[in-house]
Amino acid sequence: MRVFVIAGEASGDKLGAALMAGLKDLADVEFSGIGGPLMQQQGLESLFPMDELSVMGIAEVLPKYRHLMRRINQTARAVLQAQPDILITIDSPDFCLRVARRVKAVSDIRTVHYVAPTVWAWRAGRAKKMAKVIDHVLALFPFEPPYMQAAGMECDFVGHPVVAERIATPEEAADFRVVHGLGEAPVLLILPGSRRGEVARLAPVFGDALHRILKDRPDIRPVIPTTGNVTDLVRDAVAGWPVAPLVLDPRGMDPDAYKQHKAAAFVAADAALAASGTVSLELAACDTPMVIAYDMNWISRQIIGRMLKVDTVTLVNLVSETRVVPEFIGKACQPVPIAEAVLKVLKDPGTQRAAMRLTMVRLGKDSEAPGRRAARAVLKGLPGVTSEI
């Protein structure tokens, strides 16, 4: 079986590697396509460096538009030349769906897209547009298949990769406290995002909230895990905070060692104040209660606010069908209510735990690994596949 697979950024590379491993376990398969180091470890020879596709936002894309269009056309030609049994595109819809459109225009190659668009939250029309070029969708969330099926695509829920992540042990969390001299003090994780714009916007709000929290809980020790691209910005942003937080810096560390160090921090924490995003699932996996807050520029706030179709953006709330995680989004992202919510969570952390456990179960914890489930879903759509797959 020949598979052409495309990923455009690090998260897609991770999904793609797990899917490739699952396919290799279940079938005799040859891979071609585009991917990063993890997919290359699974035997992919990337058509060109995946990093060329890892751009976000209009300001970043415009200077590279012509180059990206050349890469889209080059990739579509490579798919048609390879004549694979299946084309699998992973997230990065601006690139991947343009490739799929060109392939479908002149062939009947089966197309699978891994990661459903968030049509349940906003821009529902994306599903119908996608259905013109995609046959089958692999969904990360259990509530997504009906949206894709209604638009005319096959869709399987295959589990979220967070359930396959290694969780730090209590002993590793205790060691983290010892190494950093935290003792028995309550630890508050502060997670203002991994993009520079997020940090610039949220760090002042989070710092003001921390100042108010410390008035009631002066024993709190704040800890901020960072990514290398924002570490210096975080250090500058927290310079005026009332208590110097422990900033975890990945630079100069082995990536796997830092990942374990960060995982230990998540388990060691008593609570977290975090930007909205998949980090809420990482916290839930570690049984760490949280408060979610996020803001954007005024124009984006107005546009997205009018388009949003859900009353919560926190994934734990959505998956568990509860609203137990406090969130402060847009104009509600203010220090006073955020601080009050964090203090309440610190006082009564147990209120979120049932919802966090339910979230992990619904996302596939203790079931077959998501990569292997994704592989089974891919294979069942091909002619001649046995029922045992």
Mind listing the pLDDT tens digit for each residue in 112-135?
999 999 887 777 788 999 999 999
- Provide the pLDDT for residue 299: 65
The values of phi and psi at residue 381, to 5°, are -85, -5
- Provide the pLDDT for residue 65: 76
Which candidate, 197, 193, 39, 223, places its Cα nearest to that of 114?
Answer: 39
Task: Reply yes or no on whether the pLDDT at 386 is more than 90.
Answer: no
- Provide the pLDDT for residue 310: 78
- Provide the pLDDT for residue 118: 86
Task: Reply yes or no on whether the pLDDT at 384 is more than 90.
Answer: no
- Provide the pLDDT for residue 269: 98
Residue 56 pLDDT grade (very low, low, confident, very high; cuts 50, 70, 90): very low
Counting beta carbons within 10 angstroms of the beta carbon of residue 320, is it exposed (0 to 12), middle (13 to 18) or buried (19 or more)?
buried
**Alpha carbon of 364 to those of 161, 300, 368: distances in Å?**
9, 33, 7
Give the ranges where 269-330 is alpha helix by DSSP (H): 279-285, 298-307, 315-320
**Alpha carbon of 305 to those of 137, 280, 332, 384: distances in Å?**
27, 21, 12, 47
The values of phi and psi at residue 371, to 5°, are -60, -40
- Provide the pLDDT for residue 307: 61
- Provide the pLDDT for residue 378: 97
- The predicted model gives 204-208 an average pLDDT of 97
User: Per-residue DSSP letters for 135-181?
Assistant: SEEEESSTTSHHHHHHTT-EEEE---GGGGSPPPPHHHHHHHHHHTT
The values of phi and psi at residue 135, to 5°, are -90, -35
Task: Reply yes or no on whether the pLDDT at 309 is more than 90.
Answer: no
- The predicted model gives 201-215 an average pLDDT of 97
- Provide the pLDDT for residue 383: 76
- Provide the pLDDT for residue 58: 40
Provide CB contacts within 8 A for 190, sequence distance 6+: 206, 210, 222, 223, 224, 245, 272, 273, 274
Range with lowest mean pLDDT among 103-107, 244-248, 369-373, 377-381: 377-381
- The predicted model gives 149-157 an average pLDDT of 97
Sign of CA dihedral 357, 281, 44, 82: positive
Range with lowest mean pLDDT among 14-23, 205-214, 252-261, 319-328: 252-261
Count CB atoms within 10 A of the CB of residue 109.
18
Mean pLDDT, the chain, as a whole number? 92
- Provide the pLDDT for residue 57: 43
- Provide the pLDDT for residue 165: 93
- Provide the pLDDT for residue 67: 86
Task: Reply yes or no on whether the pLDDT at 301 is more than 80.
Answer: no
> C-alpha 387: how far from its chain's center?
32
What single-letter DSSP state applies at residue 230? Answer: T
Which residues are 131's β-sheet partners? none
- The predicted model gives 314-319 an average pLDDT of 95
**For the chain, what percent of residues have pLDDT higher than 90?**
78
Residue 385 pLDDT grade (very low, low, confident, very high; cuts 50, 70, 90): low
Residue 53 pLDDT grade (very low, low, confident, very high; cuts 50, 70, 90): confident
Higher pLDDT, 123 or 303: 123
- The predicted model gives 322-340 an average pLDDT of 96
Task: Reply yes or no on whether the pLDDT at 138 is more than 90.
Answer: yes
- Provide the pLDDT for residue 59: 43
Amino acid at 46: S
- Provide the pLDDT for residue 62: 61
- The predicted model gives 243-255 an average pLDDT of 93
Task: Reply yes or no on whether the pLDDT at 319 is more than 60.
Answer: yes
